[in-house]
Amino acid sequence: MRHRIEEDALGRVNVPADAYYGSETQRNLDNFKISGFRLSKDFIVSYAILKKAAAKANMRTGKLDKRKGNAIMKACNEVIGGRLSDQFRIDAYQAGAGTSTNMNLNEVIANRAIEMLGGRKGDYRIVHPNDHVNMSQSTNDTFHSVIHITAHTMVKDRLLGSLDALERSLGRKSKEFSGIVKTGRTHLQDAVPMTLGEEFSGYEYAVKKVRMGIEEANERLLDIPLGGTAVGTGINASEEYSRFAISELNSMTRCGFRISENRFASMQNQTGELMMVDSLKDAAIVISKIAGDLRILGSGPRAGIHELLLPEIQPGSSIMPGKVNPSVCEMMIMVCFQAIGNSRVVEEGAMNGQLELDVFMPVIAFNLITSIEIMSNAVDTFNRLCVKGIRADEESIKKGLESNISLATALSPRIGYAKAAEIARRAYKTGKTVKQVCLDMGILDGEELDKVLDPKNMV
């Protein structure tokens, strides 16, 4: 492989001749061969958008030469468009704070801008990664800002839409099943009747509440410390830079990002990330519960509850012919497990930052953005391939309801709890219905029993 030689503060580095990245990226690639996991394409695109906004702001303040600035902006456009995606190979587990990722962007953008201006890669006299691409910036304010930009836009453009669609599907099922009376269950034991529609209305409202929590957290991510540079003071940035940069950023993203009210607090802490990851964890817990309930209610087909008919999307066994499993529910639950685990990593990263900087931002970014991505995709799949196609097995529901001994609960106001409990136990031991036991014991006449024990009167 042909190489070019670049120099940095630590000495000479061999960089592949055709690479757009430079010495700092190469050092990271050599030093941190950890996982093969990388910060997402969305994160890189968001960083390039920020770099473009910074270049335009620096030109507006007169700090950046327009010829260099325009070339930097054009190079940023190529990164945003995905043309140079193979140049971003930094491991998610890297040196603290994300400096390697920031310099990866700076070097790639600089070298592409150099080419556009007629130079050769590595000739940083034309466009310098630090002096020009990173002008008025630090990893410490930009990486943190990019976490907010990426997470906010992904939630706005993907996750909230997936959750809203799931909520609407559950609402439609609630209406569709509103007339189906079934056995309710507590402690996994038969309980008093309810409608299947009521059960699904609970799922609908639970999704609504976690969606609202995510929306609230997403609003907090609009606060960014851009312009704080190293520790929040804004050293090396002009007075108007932050305002101009955020204005350009909002023009490109069509969002409402704003300067943090206190940049020191914003750079010292990860409160926005924590609020978002907590709301994601809440959503994962709620949706995992719903998916688990659907598995139980669809269990069978002969020896389970089998009140629900879940869509059959693929064979379920390599040894048992004809077996079909609740595969989509199982996928959804596994994704929820991962999102809940990711939240713990973000919490640890936020808790262990020190003084003016949280050096664990790379692992916070990786886990937060991963959670948003997998939850968005999984909720969409769960809705499309499972929830939308759920049907009720009304025959199985009716059979279970007729034999439900908890119907005796409706007798308590007339004959007392103790007598009703005796009837329920006799029904269980003899295999008879509650009504049959009541008739055998001469408790109320048939017409009155029909009225009292009618499940429709209990919902």
Tens of pLDDT, residue by residue over 360-381, are 999 999 999 999 999 999 999 9
- For residue 259, the cross-strand partners are 224
Please tell me the distance from the alpha carbon of residue 437 to that of residue 193, in angstroms, as a whole number: 19
User: Which pLDDT band, with edges at 50, 70 and 90, does 446 fall under?
Assistant: confident
Query: How far, in Å, are 3, 72, 176 from residue 125 at the CA level?
Result: 19, 14, 69
Which amino acid belongs to residue 221?
L
User: Which pLDDT band, with edges at 50, 70 and 90, does 443 fall under?
Assistant: confident
Query: What's the average model confidence in pLDDT over 18-43?
Result: 97
Query: What's the average model confidence in pLDDT over 7-24?
Result: 96
3-state secondary structure at position 404: coil
Is 128 marked active-site?
Answer: no
Could you tell me the domains of the chain?
Answer: 3-135 (1.10.275.10), 141-226+262-395 (1.20.200.10), 403-458 (1.10.40.30)
| pLDDT of 338 strictly over 90 | yes
| pLDDT of 224 strictly over 80 | yes
Is there a contact between 147 and 349 (Cβ–Cβ < 8 Å)? no
Q: How far is CA 52 from the centre of its chain?
A: 27
Directed axis angle between helix 139-154 and helix 361-385, to 10°?
10
Is there a contact between 63 and 392 (Cβ–Cβ < 8 Å)? no
Mean pLDDT of the chain: 96
The catalytic residue among 187, 251, 299, 371 is: 187
Is there a contact between 267 and 225 (Cβ–Cβ < 8 Å)? yes
- Beta-sheet pairing, 223-224 with 258-259: parallel
Tokens of 6: 């670049």
Tens of pLDDT, residue by residue over 376-396, are 999 999 999 999 999 999 999
Tens of pLDDT, residue by residue over 203-216, are 999 999 999 999 99
| pLDDT of 247 strictly over 90 | yes
Is 260 marked active-site?
Answer: no
Radius of gyration in angstroms for the set of CA atoms belonging to the chain, rounded to a whole number = 30
pLDDT value of position 445: 87
The catalytic residue among 35, 85, 251, 317 is: 317
Query: How far, in Å, are 4, 44, 219, 359, 393 from residue 31 at the CA level?
Result: 19, 21, 38, 18, 59
Please tell me the distance from the alpha carbon of residue 107 to that of residue 87, in angstroms, as a whole number: 10
Could you write out the DSSP letters of every residue in 250-296? HHHH-S--EE-S-HHHHHH--HHHHHHHHHHHHHHHHHHHHHHHHHH
Is there a contact between 84 and 94 (Cβ–Cβ < 8 Å)? no
- What's the whole-model pTM score? 0.94
Report the candidate in 116, 108, 91 with the shortest Cα–Cα distance to residue 48. 108
pLDDT value of position 340: 98
pLDDT value of position 1: 77
